[in-house]
Amino acid sequence: MSDGAANPLDSGAGASYAAAGVNIDAGERAVELFAPHAKRATRPEVMGGLGGFAGLFALKGDYREPVLAASSDGVGTKLAVAQALGIHHTVGRDLVAMVVDDLVVCGAEPLFLQDYIAIGKVVPEMVADIVRGIADGCYDAGCALLGGETAEHPGLMEDGHYDISATGVGVVEADSILGPDRVRPGDVVIAMGSSGLHSNGYSLARKVLLEWGRMDLEGHVEEFGRTLGEELLEPTRIYAKDCLALAAETEVRTFAHVTGGGLAENLGRVLPAGLSAQLERASWAPAPVFSMIAQRGRVERAEMERTFNMGVGMVAIVAPEDTDRAQAILTARHVDNWILGSVNRAEESAAPGSAELIGDYPRF
């Protein structure tokens, strides 16, 4: 089956990888461009440098019973916005956030991350921008960018299109693992504000705002105080160091990273059977981007809340006596935070290990 392209064999020339659509030289140039950025994202435990077949990491420190934690994730269709605008460094930070913020839920300190970039055609500057963002995110999270892979996929992906994913590894002492078994009735639920949509729900957001609403990514939106593209590409907040500081200084029972599935579902994942969290909508007002999607798409509130974070990116469940201290720590670290609700024994009619949003938002 032919796609109409010229056959080099007809002219007597031999086949090559470049003729098949894979440019090895461009890949090597991309490595040259992103190497300085990747070298910034390191830790003392990293052994060797870039270019090996495997990244080496020596687990040093006075650990008593270290347990490794691992998490993998991607950025999803937020990449379509980045590719449409030709802005590629911010989604690298999104990628790091989605991985390391999952790791810290159990109390693990992120140690290193490895990325994977699949791209239709390697444009060295584009790949370097993506990796620059990943390296910046790793630096802010305190973890090393230990290695990765860039794969050119001609015929499978269009030129200018790419997908990214990563796996991160962290460590936590066995007796310090956070989770449902630590949660008690009367514990307080503290919300940490999101920076926007983060990296979830973009298929719905794009459908409503771009396809149905025909909004211009480069157009200024008064409600946002910036362009639509700038709002949609706002990077996911990296909470890793904030959560670790909180766990080190207060009695944190567990965290919940609010991603796909929304606030109630993700919080329910870290609650034990027999306990339920009641979360007060009146305690915060979702940012304008959420209400714009809801209003322009006539999206029901329940659908919004199970698709988007609605302004809450991370949740901490803390012992009631440590509530003030926990909030003071987060405030000092410039993390917007508030008391979201509390944990109580579940009623017989309530699902075990559940969370429920009650009341109404002051503005939505």
Q: Do 153 and 246 share a domain, yes or no?
A: no
Q: Do 301 and 191 share a domain, yes or no?
A: yes
Q: Do 211 and 227 share a domain, yes or no?
A: yes
Q: In the listed set 150, 176, 202, which residue is the last one of a domain according to the structure?
A: 176
Residue 364 lies in a domain: no
As a whole number, mean pLDDT of residues 310-332 equals 98
Residue 130 lies in a domain: yes
203-212 tens-digit pLDDT: 999 999 999 9
CATH number for the domain spanning 322: value is: 3.90.650.10
Number of domains in the chain: 2
Q: In which band, very low, low, confident or very high, does the pLDDT at 155 lie, cut at 50, 70 and 90?
A: confident
CATH number for the domain spanning 119: value is: 3.30.1330.10
- 140 has a pLDDT exceeding 60: yes
Q: Do 142 and 199 share a domain, yes or no?
A: no
Q: Which candidate, 266, 132, 126, 148, places its Cα nearest to that of 198? A: 266
Residue 248 lies in a domain: yes
**Helix 240-249 × helix 124-141 angle, to 10°:** 10
Sign of CA pseudo-dihedral 124, 126, 129, 134: negative
Share of the chain above pLDDT 70, in %: 87
Half-sphere exposure of 98 (CA within 13 A, CB side): 26
| Rounded alpha-carbon distances, angstroms, from residue 260 to 150, 151, 284, 317 | 26, 27, 20, 20
Using DSSP's 3-state secondary structure scheme, residue 333 falls into coil
164-197 tens-digit pLDDT: 999 999 999 999 999 999 999 999 999 999 999 9
36-81 tens-digit pLDDT: 666 777 788 888 766 667 888 888 888 899 999 999 999 999 999 9
Which residues have CB under 8 Å from 41's CB, separation 6+? 134, 135, 136, 138, 139, 143, 144, 145
Q: What is the DSSP string of 80-136?
A: HHHHHHT--SHHHHHHHHHHHHHHGGGTPEEEEEEEEEEESS--HHHHHHHHHHHHH
- The answer to whether 253 and 317 are in contact (CB under 8 A) is yes
Q: Do 133 and 272 share a domain, yes or no?
A: no
β-strand pairing of 66-74 with 144-152: unpaired
Q: Which candidate, 66, 88, 64, places its Cα nearest to that of 75? A: 88
Alpha carbon 54 to chain centroid, angstroms: 24
Range of the domain at 216: 180-358
110-136 tens-digit pLDDT: 999 999 999 998 888 899 899 999 999
User: Which of the pair, 157 or 246, is modelled with greater confidence?
Assistant: 246
The pLDDT assigned to 147 comes to 87
Q: Tell me which residue has tokens 């991309």.
A: 30
Q: Do 207 and 296 share a domain, yes or no?
A: yes
Residue 11 lies in a domain: no
The pLDDT assigned to 1 comes to 44
